[in-house]
Amino acid sequence: MVPQKSPFYGLWPLANNSTIFVAPEGIDAGWPNTGGRDLAFTDEILKQVQGGLCIDNSRIFATGFSYGAGMSNAVACARANVFRGVALYAGAQLSGCEGGTAPIAYFGAHGISDSVLGIAQGRSIRDRMVRNNGCSATNAPEPARGSGTHTCTSYQGCRDGYPVRWCAFDGDHNPTEKDRGQSKSWVPGEAWQFISQF
């Protein structure tokens, strides 16, 4: 696991006290969602937050890295009527996908050389989101190996309010990748811009 230098994958400082962040630990020290347990756990957390805090129910997002991205994908599949969108960093379908046909706003970032969850797994989730959101299918460009860069694509033709944004980078399994020669990650800014459009 890559240690975080900035809380919530760099989103905390960008939110500037405008956002309530919740960071649970999955059941069984992961997010296998066995028998839907982690999804039920997520539902209960959300009920507690909604009951105790004044939140905008039209702007609830799930985000995560690796296993957490797998769980955020499960949320996208099963709770698209509750969550406004998801931001997945190096995600794969690890926690199931109950339903999986409703549109939901989607941001994904994945390394082309991911040695833990290959980029094909991230592309598979992206492509399902493209279909669900009614976007025009296109081959999103990806950077060349060894380039030390990233490319981001906003899919066209998506249903109003259900954008898909995909960023591929020349790197491994990392939620906050930096382009070569840069001291700061580009990922938090991309993810925050995507989330804050709502």
Could you read off the pLDDT of 85-95 as tens digits, one per residue? 999 999 999 99
What rounded mean pLDDT belongs to the chain?
95
Structure tokens at 12: 């905390």
Q: What is the pLDDT of residue 1?
A: 40
Q: What is the pLDDT of residue 28?
A: 85
Could you read off the pLDDT of 25-51 as tens digits, one per residue? 998 889 999 999 999 999 999 999 999
Cα separations in angstroms, 99 against 12, 76, 126, 160? 31, 9, 16, 21
**pTM (predicted TM-score):** 0.95
Alpha carbon distance 198, 37 (integer Å): 29
Mean pLDDT of the 119-145 span: 97
Show the 3-state SS of the chain.
CCCCCCHHHHHHHHHCCCCCCCCCCCHHHCCCCHHHHHHHHHHHHHHHHHHHCCCCCCCCEEEEECHHHHHHHHHHHHCCCCCCEEEEECCCCCCCCCCCCCCCEEEEEEECCCCCCCHHHHHHHHHHHHHHCCCCCCCCCCCCCCCCCEEEEECCCCCCCCCEEEEEECCCCCCCCCCCCCCCCCHHHHHHHHHHCC
Could you read off the pLDDT of 134-148 as tens digits, one per residue? 999 999 999 999 999
Does the pLDDT at position 3 exceed 60? no
Q: Are 57 and 50 in contact (CB under 8 A)?
A: yes
Q: What is the pLDDT of residue 5?
A: 58
In 10 A of CB 176, how many CB atoms?
Answer: 19
Comparing C-alpha atoms, which of 131, 129, 169, 130 is closest to residue 152? 169
Could you read off the pLDDT of 68-113 as tens digits, one per residue? 999 999 999 999 999 999 999 999 999 999 999 999 999 999 999 9
Q: What is the pLDDT of residue 74?
A: 98
